[in-house]
Chain A
Amino acid sequence: MYLLLTMLWLSMAMPVFSQQYRLQGIVTDEQQQPLPGCHIQLPDTLIVSDDQGRFEVQSRSHENIRVQLSFIGYQPMDTVLTQANLSQIIHLSLTPFAANIATIKVEGKRKQTQSLTTEVIQETFISRTQSGSFIHSLNRLPGVNSMDIGSHTSKPVIRGLSFSRVSVSENHIKQEGQHWGADHGLEIDPFAVESAEVVKGPSAIEYGSDAIGGYIHLNNNRVPAPNQQQGNFQLLGKSVNQLYGGSLYLESRKQHSYIKLRGTLLDFGDYRIPTDTILYLSRKIPIVNRALKNTAGYERDFSVHTGVIYNQFSSSFSGSIVSQQAGFFPGAHGIPDLNRVQDDGDSRNTDYPFQKSTHTKLINNTRFQVGSTDWFLDLAYQHNDRSEWSQFHTHYPEQEAPQTNPDLELDFQLKAFQANLKTNFQLSPTQDLSIGVQTQWKHNDIAGYNFLLPNYQSNSQGAFIRYNWKLSPTVNLFSGVRFDLSQIEIAGYFDPVLFDYLKGTGATNQEAESYATRSKQLKRSFQDFSWLVGLVIQSSSNTTTRINLGKAFRTPTPIELASNGVHHGSFRHEQGDNQLKPERSYYGDLSLEWHIPKGHYEITPYLYYFSNYIFLNPTGEWSKLPHAGQIYRYTDSRALLSGVEISVNQQLLPRLQLSANLEYIRNTQLSEQANQRYPLPFTPPTNAFGELEYQFRKPNKYMEDLKFFINTRIALDQNRVARNELKTPGYQLFGLGLSSRISTSHQPIAITLQVMNLLNTKHFNAISFYRRLEIPEPGRNIQLHVKIPFTL
């Protein structure tokens, strides 16, 4: 981090002073938030911006004035103010540097907003790690992993918790999709993320009771700078799946109104794995050309934002559509079949089976000021349409397929409406209070010849209070309490296709009926409190201690209450339990951070106690469904989850920076009987990531920030597995790359060229969908990302 700050400053000519001019300005970050304490270097003096980010200088020159701004964690700005500027209040906006700005927060230069460990992700990080899947790039953060489905789809795992235990939101609106499935990703345009925040630990207070594991907030409502029309074009190419794609972005702002447009296209082929055969269910399955057949797909995204901005009122509307399609490897979809893995001569086509999803979202974010109080209102409607296609007869060979969409296996249409209202008060110079209410309505419709999840409708209301108190200059108290109330109505479902099938196998009427009653009507309501207390203590000028204690709860999801079926030829008949109670968890963590010269270290141990952790457990009962083994039922168990994250950032040489992190997780079901103390499913192995970055001297006048980096990712063996999970051997991967900014005009082009999995190492991700199918993770990948900014 500090290395990044040792930037080259050009020398400059001293202007001649003759007359008095008054220069007023304001410094903000990229989100137009004031930056107090920013250093502003003028020709003959250094000044610091005030609490509101404002500054004022007397100058005797009518000539152009050179100003150099620096603020820790931000790109320095070196600009010349012309005479025309001098009469008005000038607005200077700084762009943040890479990855982890958490360091800034503890230095007190930025207002602390919470006590939980938070990683702030800025544009440089996003640009560097852009791989076409935003979530996948997060797995280099401590305590964050991604659950991958092939080369293009990922889901986040925070501290070993995933699915509905991690909330993802975009502009304060929780993303609502079908995230319960290990093979379902998040429908997010990877290029549309302007900045993000990853909060580790239960974030239920403000974001809804689900977020027991953590919370990822994606932000793309940055307001463009005034009176500018500009944009950028990004290009991405990847060798591992022959992905090519691009994203075009345009923004325009007058003084008080703006519009932003983005369109993204990504197209990819079958991805390569470093093996010629896989061994699945005791069959050797050839991988023709080392490419996994039928894993090609595409993504098409479009979004528009428009808004108005005034001092006491701002409001923005956004609409976005993200649509994706990707195939599944047919050789391991259900019973292995060699006929289905023969090369079809086309590595970019998608045949059965495949999945398709379209996510449409309309969001309004409004902020207004009444007196000295800020109010925030968010309204959103979203529609997630996910369908899974596979040929009817592969499931029910001797029955007649449905008339319409005969090969539509599963279809989920989830509509969700959400409204948030929040206000912040300043009770005293040291005390802040925020109060908020939320309401959400969801409706799920199903279609398709197969059945997994019934129709349902749910609504929930939540209210919270947060109270922050600066007890002393070095001690901050953060506290919050939330109450949630929710109802869910689940529809019954009788499956005529299954009834006929079971009758055909000679089942009695009664037996066939009981199986074919896939879902029974159910109405339940849930309510509970969540709370969190945190202390942040800056015990000396270079250490910060954070302590959090809390209780979180999570309402069982419809899939946990009422699923009943086989998902994707997994041979698992998965069944919900409609009597499940809300999952409750008590939580504690301790985070120690300290700064030594040229370095930053952090260690965060944590502990969760669950009185009833909900997970899918085998029952030992055989299922009568076609192609199914035993029934797996959602069950709860007492559980203990503990872990530690360690991160190190150190400048080794003036131009050489080391950043590394390590994550260790251990969890277990609690039981009187030692032979029942199984680990929880989907637990990432102990893993580490390290990167060395060397910043070259400016090689020529066109190139800036030329950096070379080399990194490694290590995972140890995962032998602590739940029932029917596979033990996964450890691995070490290497990567390297170059990044630079090339300036032809005043807007530099950013280029990153890198190689991932340099040695083409065959490895398995213990928590990925394809692990169970013995399919290794993608092989070597060379990728190029170019970002070309332009002004209109």
Chain B
Amino acid sequence: MKRIQTPYIQFIGILTILFAFAACEDDFVDTTKPVIRIEAPANNDTLYIGHDVHFDCEFEDDTELHSYKIDIHNNFDGHTHKSARIEGEETPFRYSNSWTFSPGQKNATVHHHELIIPELIDNLPVAHGKYHFGIFCTDKAGNESHIFIDVVLAEGDGDHDHH
């Protein structure tokens, strides 16, 4: 056994140094993603062409919120058909916009009607049907959350309640 003592001492020495090094300082980094709680629109809600959208959402982060983004694009036919184009008569609605939170904000309840679905785009009526409604949120460190809900765009006067 005597012959293996030296390596054992080295072994323990190295382990000690390593663990001392590993334990020297814990990081104070933010890897927690912000939380998005969407109240309105809800999943499978109908949004009315020619009207504004009632947007109501809570954002929360453990350190500091940075920005959020709304992205709407169509999901016609549930992605089953191959490359097709809606010819001529109507045009799909697309929307992408972002907002920045005030510095230092840890939680925010956002409620606005800034998002308006026009009746016409380039003189063509907006296409009704299934759409994806995506909400993205980042915190100051760059941690990102995103959620998607399904919505339907339809014609009509929108008997949804305006807050």
Contact = CB atoms under 8 A, between A and B. Distances in A.
Interface of A: 281-283, 335-337, 339-340, 391-394, 397-401, 406-407, 504-506, 539-543, 571, 590, 592, 594, 596, 601, 603, 605, 617-620, 622, 624, 626-627, 629-630, 642, 644, 664, 666, 668, 674-679, 720-725, 727
Interface stretch (B47-55, B136-144, B152-160): B136-144
B142 A397 contact: no
A673 to B, nearest CB: 9
B163 interface: no
A398 B122 CA distance: 14
A498 to B, nearest CB: 13
A339 B78 contact: yes
A571 B145 CA distance: 10
A506 B17 CA distance: 60
16 contacts: A337-B75, A393-B83, A397-B73, A397-B75, A400-B85, A592-B14, A630-B142, A630-B144, A644-B14, A664-B18, A666-B21, A666-B22, A675-B28, A678-B29, A722-B31, A723-B142
B116 to A, nearest CB: 13
Interface string B77-104: 0111111111000011011101000000
Nearest to B95: A505
A335 B73 CA distance: 11
B138 A620 contact: yes
A85 to B, nearest CB: 44
B142 A619 contact: yes
Given A505-B95, A543-B7, 15 more contacts: A337-B79, A391-B79, A397-B74, A398-B91, A407-B82, A542-B4, A601-B11, A605-B18, A622-B136, A674-B29, A675-B30, A677-B29, A678-B29, A724-B142, A727-B31
Contacts of B11: 592, 601, 603
A6 B14 CA distance: 34
Contacts of B79: 337, 339-340, 391, 393-394
Contacts of A505: 94-96
A642 B144 contact: no
B83 A407 contact: yes
Nearest to B63: A675
A258 B25 CA distance: 60
Contacts of A542: 3-4
B84 A393 contact: yes
Interface residues of B, number: 54
A675 B29 contact: yes
Contact of B144 (A392, A624, A626, A629): A629
Contacts of A399: 85
B146 to A, nearest CB: 6
A659 to B, nearest CB: 18
Nearest to B8: A594
B12 to A, nearest CB: 10
Contacts of A340: 78-79
B106 to A, nearest CB: 16
Interface centre among B4, B22, B136 (most CB of A within 10 A): B4
A646 to B, nearest CB: 9
B31 A605 contact: no
B123 interface: no
A622 to B, nearest CB: 5
B82 A618 contact: no
Contacts of B134: 335, 627
A592 B10 contact: yes
A696 to B, nearest CB: 31
Given A592-B14, A644-B18, A724 B33 contact: yes
B29 A624 contact: no
Contacts of A283: 148
A629 B18 contact: no
A606 to B, nearest CB: 10
B86 A398 contact: yes
A678 B142 CA distance: 12
Contact of A629 (B4, B14, B22, B69): B69
Contacts of B92: 397-398
B31 A725 contact: yes
Contact of B7 (A594, A622, A679, A725): A594
B7 A724 contact: no
Contacts of B21: 642, 666
B57 to A, nearest CB: 13
Given A618-B138, A679-B27, A723 B143 contact: yes
Contacts of B148: 281, 283, 335-336
B47 to A, nearest CB: 17
Given A335-B134, A400-B83, A540 B3 contact: yes
A543 B6 contact: yes
B67 A620 contact: yes
| Most B C-beta atoms less than 10 A away, residue of A391, A590, A617 | A391
A629 B142 contact: no
A626 B74 CA distance: 11
Contacts of B136: 571, 622, 629-630
B17 to A, nearest CB: 8
A505 B74 CA distance: 12
Given A407-B82, A605-B14, A668 B146 contact: no
Contacts of B146: 281, 571, 629
B51 to A, nearest CB: 19
A397 B76 contact: yes
